[in-house]
Amino acid sequence: KAAIKQFKHYACIFMLTTLRNRFTVQLFSKSFKASLNFGLFNILFKSMSKKTALVIVTNGTEEIEAVTTADVLVRGDVDVTIAGLESADAVTCSRNVRIQPHASLASVADRAFDCVVLPGGLPGAKAFAASLPVKALLERHYAAGGIVAAICAASIALESHAFLPGSTVTSHPSVRDQLKSYNYSEERVCVAADGRLVTSRGPGTAFEFALKLVELLQGREKADSLVGPMLLKI
């Protein structure tokens, strides 16, 4: 009898231990799945919520302005797409540097971006000014709450497309007289329309221009954090 009683005792302990272990494994499994699912959701959410910018390039675009702006935006955790005005083929910039766009403007025109950037370079700026797709993009993008940014001679595209006339803008001095619909400023970077129209002057102001865009998209702290590592004196 004592042996039977002892057997029942150990059998009971074994059953309870097995149940406890199975319950623990199930809890761990559910917890792990929940943690994994939350992690994947967090990654997906961050990806979906990441700020985006479109930099349009074409033959004759000023390469310093295009590349500096794109580079600084990427450093500021902005997802940058470089689009070719006419196609996705490589473009030859104003100083014969070639840039390979990620896509054509036509293929990304319907996507939503937080910021659209027009680099300067007079031949490229004239192409933007003559482009109806650029006009439609700027109007649709601004109406959706996005930022429009133009540097150097690209401000003439704003004039050509009658984009926010009466705003305060700047540009390269060589095209100042063409901006008759605007209040002209000689600031190195000019912000108007409640922070949604940003213009700048030329290659020498490209870093300031790009940092201002990072500030507007990601906050002042993020923009300031980029200055030191790039050894800028601004």
Per DSSP, the residues of 119-159 read ---HHHHHHHHT-HHHHHHHHHHHHTT-EEEEEGGGHHHHH
- Token readout for 37 is 């699912």
If you search the block for the tokens 């000014």, which residue do you land on?
A: 129
Question: What are the backbone dihedrals phi and psi of residue 183, each rounded to the nearest 5 degrees, phi first?
Answer: -85, 120
Side-chain half-sphere of 159: how many Cα atoms within 13 Å?
20
The overall average pLDDT reported for the chain is 89
The burial class, CB within 10 Å (0-12 / 13-18 / 19+), for 221 is exposed
Q: What is the mean pLDDT of each run of 10 residues along the chain (234 residues)?
A: 54 60 55 52 56 99 99 99 99 98 98 98 99 98 98 99 98 98 98 97 99 99 98 91
172: exposed, middle or buried (Cβ count in 10 Å: 0-12, 13-18, 19+): buried
The answer for residues whose C-beta is within 8 angstroms of residue 77's C-beta and 6 or more apart is 50, 51, 218, 222
> What's the CA gap between 68 and 213, in Å, rounded?
12
Q: Which residues pair with 200 in a beta bridge?
A: 151, 189
pLDDT at residue number 49: 79
Query: In the CATH scheme, what architecture does the domain 50-227 have?
Result: 3-Layer(aba) Sandwich (3.40)
What pLDDT, on a 0 to 100 scale, did the predictor assign at position 17? 60
How do strand 79-84 and strand 52-57 relate by DSSP bridges? parallel
> Which amino acids are annotated catalytic?
65, 152, 172
| pLDDT value of residue 41 | 47
pLDDT, tens digit (0-9, with 9 covering 90-100), for 19-70: 555 555 465 555 555 554 555 544 444 446 799 999 999 999 999 999 999 9
Work out the number of other CB atoms within 10 angstroms of the CB of residue 122: 18
pLDDT for 18: 61
Distance, in Å, from the CA atom of 40 to the CA atom of 38, rounded to the nearest integer, reads 5
